[in-house]
Amino acid sequence: MKQLSLGYSPCPNDTFIFYALVHGKIDTGGHSFNEELLDVETLNQKALNAELDVTKISYAAYGRLRDNYTLLRSGGAVGRGCGPLIVAKRNYSLEQLRNRRIAIPGRLTTAFLLLRLYDPEFARFVEMPFHKIMDAVASEEVDAGLIIHESRFTYPSYRLKKIMDLGEWWERETGLPIPLGGIIARRSLGESVIKQIGVLIKQSVEYAFSNPTVPMAYIKKHSQELSDDVINQHIDLYVNDFSIDLGEEGEKAVREFIKRAEDSGIIPKSHMPVFT
């Protein structure tokens, strides 16, 4: 039996996707997975240090990881109407926010890369865990926040206002869905093992779609602050056909995202292919 380290977030979409894989609901063909549930920016940093065999990462970070990792086609978050939001307590214009403090969930996140692609003039950033951003904005510790995950559904309860939807901007700009997070595997595992892992993750997603109530206790264990309604909205928004397989459109979106980041000089160009 080959033991593999597996990193993903405690967010409902990830616990929904990986439940079957880590709980023996599918035949793993002799592989076992030791999961680490961490916020996505911590996972990005661990991947930079090549600490995990398989992990969820921001697509923004993948541009820096291609030497050591290859991208899998299943298990990620790509979609429409699901991008990061800029929120604030006051009705700022985007121009007014250029020189104000904006809380971000990490410099390797897709959200931050989208913000820089939209307008490189934004300059004052405060990094913090994504779940602390809305409190910081509401208390005016910062002037605005770049929010992700379930914050998309809960920011009105903090009396915050949506200033911009960066996902909507990306979709208008490119006509493509927004690639938020993907699953990568260490290249040193070898082509055969990597292919097996890709198949297993796809089967785990398909199991969750076929048995949506079975993972719920596991999901709630790691999202204790979320209501059932928010959990279901979160899964419905971030888990879709692209999570089963990127397909042609999803692959095109990922390539375009990384190309724009490289062309803008935000991430270094790599000699390694995006997909292998």
CA–CA dist 76, 260 (Å, integer): 20
pLDDT at 2: 81
| pLDDT (tens digit per residue) in 28-53 | 998 999 999 999 999 999 999 999 99
- Is 149 one of the catalytic residues? yes
Q: Quickly state the pLDDT bin for 190 (edges 50, 70, 90).
A: very high
Where do we find the tokens 């056909």? Answer: 241
- What CATH superfamily classification does 2-79+178-263 receive? Periplasmic binding protein-like II (3.40.190.10)
Same fold, 2-79+178-263 and 85-174: yes
Give the torsion through C-alpha atoms of 35, 36, 40, 43, to 10 deg: -100
Instruction: Name the DSSP letter for residue 75.
Output: S
pLDDT at 119: 93
For the chain, the average pLDDT equals: 94
pLDDT at 150: 82
For residue 224, pLDDT over 80 is answered with no
Helix (H) or strand (E) holding 54: strand 54-58
Locate the domains of the chain by residue range: 2-79+178-263, 85-174
- What CATH superfamily classification does 85-174 receive? Periplasmic binding protein-like II (3.40.190.10)
Contact 75, 243 (CB under 8 A): yes
pLDDT at 1: 60
| pLDDT (tens digit per residue) in 149-165 | 888 889 999 999 999 99
- What residues form DSSP beta bridges with 179? 78
- What residues form DSSP beta bridges with 78? 179
Predicted TM-score of the model (pTM): 0.92
For residue 236, pLDDT over 80 is answered with yes
Q: Which two tokens stand for residue 108?
A: 């390797």
Alpha-helical (H) ranges within the chain are 12-22, 40-48, 59-62, 94-97, 110-118, 133-138, 151-154, 166-174, 191-210, 216-222, 228-238, 241-244, 247-263
| pLDDT (tens digit per residue) in 95-154 | 999 999 999 999 999 999 999 999 998 989 999 998 899 999 999 999 999 999 888 889
- Catalytic residue, chosen from 23, 31, 131, 149, is 149
CA–CA dist 168, 16 (Å, integer): 25
